[in-house]
Amino acid sequence: MSLKTLHSLRALPPWMPRAKLLRNRINNRDVSVPTGIFINNEFRSSLSGSKFSVENPATGQPILEIEEGREEDVNMAVEAARKAFEGSEWANSNPVWRGELLNRLAQLMERDKEDIIALEMLDTGKTRKQAANLDFPGSVGTLKYYAGWADKVLGLTSFNIPGTFAYTRREPVGVCGQIIPWNFPLLMFIWKISPAIATGNTVVIKSAEATPLTALKCCELIKEAGFPAGVVNLVSGFGKTVGNAIANHMDVDKVAFTGSTATGRTILKSAASSNLKKVTLELGGKSPNIIFPDADIQKAVEWSAWGINMNFGQTCHAGTRIYVHEDVYDEFVAAYTKRMASLKVGDNFDESVDQGPQNSKMQYEKILGYIESGKQDGATISLGGKVAEVEGADGKGYYIQPTIFTNVKPDMKIMREEIFGPVVCIAKFKTEEEVLRDANDTTYGLAAAVHTKDYERVLRITNGLKAGTTWVNMYNFVHWSVPFGGYKQSGIGRECGEAALENYTETKAVYYNTGIPAPQ
Ligand code: ADP
């Protein structure tokens, strides 16, 4: 039975009921969210009829159930995206209009800002500081930035070849599969769709199973903004089903993924063994953060604390390996430990809290496992190392104390693997050569930082670090207008900035004959 028949037999209701109302604890308004699979601008039930539960990490309790997509839903979404791409004027549409649609989506998000922030906080455990001051403006900023690019993607013209002239056209790639993680659900949704839409592609996107809510909310706004049906399609569900179906689909032209290196490897294999779809990957990290004795130590302490505290360590570019010069090691460790100890762990809706719960039970247990391995390998716990007791949480929720390991060795698991939690290792170094060697001694290459006032040293170190983003006297600062991505096993390709437009366009060369006879 073809999918079309299957679909019509099931006579799906075009609109899913909205989810149970959620109490938005910020402004005391009720917030609701659609729960369906979003195809052709409609929220539908899943073809299998299955649903899955979404949990609040602050309590470990279910928030609501949403429709769970499977391979057949992905097929339907790809069909819709293909039809929107080929069968309509979308791919050749006026780019000014595409820019207007992105701007309109940004305006609608600003209108519904408080609801979006509340949903993101509820779903992820983020603090308001994180969701409202970073993720939300980052998302709206990205939309506006790519809205501006839509009519500025140009080709080249060459009159340098006698008897001909040639030009290039930047054409959309086609149907883009996009798979996003749970640590920045809203931001990653917008980072992914914005350059794809600006350049005239259509999208089938999958949110992470742990955090599907803000993507659903955004799809509602996408319809309201006036995007044509089928341009953006969202299939919520699991990696092994929905993600796998996208990565292996014969009619998906490109897949863009953000997540773990292990899953990135699987996706690359799927692309290779299916239709050789183009692949961009933004993967893990184990980023070094180097403190020289001539740095402003107090500022270095602040930035290094932010290096791990941003999103409670659930950031691929977190500064998890701090290397401190021996001359300032004791001073730095004392001040840094004091600063990290001052972070308040608790209910993420309490505005005085700096660190909320980790995103899921699975992550929580994984982090505690790494802490255990650090202890067993003989590293010293200078701070934390335990589950955090949070008042009012009744032992529920996934809270972990900010944790510092010292006396670490390069071959320890905690120094080599991505922990993705509030856990940092501090090592001591003597010379520039030694610290560059140790900093680069990793399979990852996403980010790095150096703290020093010596500008010649800045150049030596930043040139020597093998990382896609390198900060000087700061940490964890990423802007949508600057390329972001990884060296080595941290990824393939760049997101953000003009660089992302490359990933979403094919370059077609066109030659005009202005007088060359055919070769005899
Ligand atoms: P993490 O380990 O941090 O959860 P993952 O890389 O597993 O990160 O998840 C990131 C995204 O990749 C999620 O949306 C997840 O559902 C999806 N995913 C997981 N496994 C696969 C897979 N085999 N193929 C495609 N996508 C997957």
* pLDDT greater than 70 at residue 183: yes
77, 235 in Cβ contact below 8 A?
yes
Would you place residue 91 in the very low, low, confident or very high pLDDT band (cuts 50, 70, 90)? Answer: confident
Confirm or reject: Cβ of 346 under 6 Å from ligand 1: no
- 400: which strand partners? 387
Domain boundary among 282, 315, 334: 282
The predicted model gives 476-499 an average pLDDT of 98
Q: Kindly state whether residue 511 falls inside one of the protein's structural domains.
A: no
Mean pLDDT of all residues in the chain?
A: 94
Same domain, yes or no: 278 and 320: no
**C-alpha–C-alpha distance, residues 189 and 493, integer Å:** 17
Confirm or reject: Cβ of 179 under 6 Å from ligand 1: yes
Domain boundary among 259, 282, 305: 282
CATH of the domain at 232: 3.40.605.10
Ligand 1 centroid from CA 265, angstroms: 11
Same domain, yes or no: 20 and 139: yes
Would you place residue 393 in the very low, low, confident or very high pLDDT band (cuts 50, 70, 90)? Answer: confident
Q: Kindly state whether residue 516 falls inside one of the protein's structural domains.
A: no
The predicted model gives 105-129 an average pLDDT of 95
Atom of ligand 1 nearest to the CA of 179: 14
Element containing residue 268 per DSSP (H, E): helix 261-273
Same domain, yes or no: 261 and 314: no
Same domain, yes or no: 271 and 318: no
How do residues 397-417 score in pLDDT, each as one tens digit? 999 999 999 999 999 999 999
Same domain, yes or no: 140 and 22: yes
Packed helices 136-149 and 95-111: angle between N→C axes, nearest 10 degrees: 160
Confirm or reject: Cβ of 486 under 6 Å from ligand 1: no
Same domain, yes or no: 209 and 297: no
Atom of ligand 1 nearest to the CA of 420: 3
Confirm or reject: Cβ of 102 under 6 Å from ligand 1: no
Q: Kindly state whether residue 510 falls inside one of the protein's structural domains.
A: no
Choose one of 52, 178, 179 to mutate for the ligand 1 pocket test, by most ligand atoms within 8 angstroms of C-beta.
Answer: 179
Domain boundary among 233, 253, 282: 282
* pLDDT greater than 50 at residue 13: no
The predicted model gives 35-40 an average pLDDT of 95
Give 342's DSSP letter. Answer: T
| pLDDT in the model for residue 32 | 86
Radius of gyration from C-alpha coordinates of the chain: 24
Range of the domain at 140: 3-282
Confirm or reject: Cβ of 243 under 6 Å from ligand 1: yes
* Identity of the residue numbered 145: Y
- Smallest CA-to-CA distance from 178 within 144, 155, 201 is with 201
Same domain, yes or no: 232 and 305: no
CATH of the domain at 326: 3.40.309.10
How do residues 424-478 score in pLDDT, each as one tens digit? 999 999 999 999 999 999 999 999 999 999 999 999 999 999 999 999 999 999 9
How do residues 249-276 score in pLDDT, each as one tens digit? 999 999 999 999 999 999 999 999 999 9
Ligand 1 centroid from CA 266, angstroms: 9
Q: Kindly state whether residue 127 falls inside one of the protein's structural domains.
A: yes
Confirm or reject: Cβ of 462 under 6 Å from ligand 1: no
**C-alpha–C-alpha distance, residues 46 and 39, integer Å:** 11
Q: Kindly state whether residue 405 falls inside one of the protein's structural domains.
A: yes
| pLDDT in the model for residue 63 | 87
Same domain, yes or no: 275 and 186: yes
Q: What are the tokens at 25?
A: 């604890």
Give catalytic residues, as residue numbers: 282
Atom of ligand 1 nearest to the CA of 209: 16
CA dist list (Å): 222 to 31, 103, 119, 226, 257: 18, 11, 17, 7, 21
The predicted model gives 30-34 an average pLDDT of 86
Q: What are the tokens at 448?
A: 């790095």
Same domain, yes or no: 257 and 341: no
Same domain, yes or no: 273 and 417: no
Q: Kindly state whether residue 65 falls inside one of the protein's structural domains.
A: yes
| pLDDT in the model for residue 417 | 98
Kindly report the pTM of this predicted structure.
0.96
Burial class (CB in 10 A: 0-12, 13-18, 19+), 162: exposed
Same domain, yes or no: 417 and 376: yes
Ligand 1 centroid from CA 481, angstroms: 26
26, 58 in Cβ contact below 8 A?
no
Atom of ligand 1 nearest to the CA of 362: 4
436, 399 in Cβ contact below 8 A?
no
Confirm or reject: Cβ of 212 under 6 Å from ligand 1: no
Would you place residue 92 in the very low, low, confident or very high pLDDT band (cuts 50, 70, 90)? Answer: confident
- Roughly how many angstroms between the first and final C-alpha of the chain, as a whole number? 55
Choose one of 263, 279, 316, 361 to mutate for the ligand 1 pocket test, by most ligand atoms within 8 angstroms of C-beta.
Answer: 263
Number of domains within the chain = 2
* 3-state DSSP of 413-444: HHHHCCCCCCEEEEEEECCHHHHHHHHCCCCC
Confirm or reject: Cβ of 244 under 6 Å from ligand 1: yes
The predicted model gives 202-214 an average pLDDT of 98
Would you place residue 58 in the very low, low, confident or very high pLDDT band (cuts 50, 70, 90)? Answer: very high
Q: Kindly state whether residue 229 falls inside one of the protein's structural domains.
A: yes
Ligand 1 centroid from CA 239, angstroms: 5
Same domain, yes or no: 359 and 417: yes
Q: Kindly state whether residue 21 falls inside one of the protein's structural domains.
A: yes
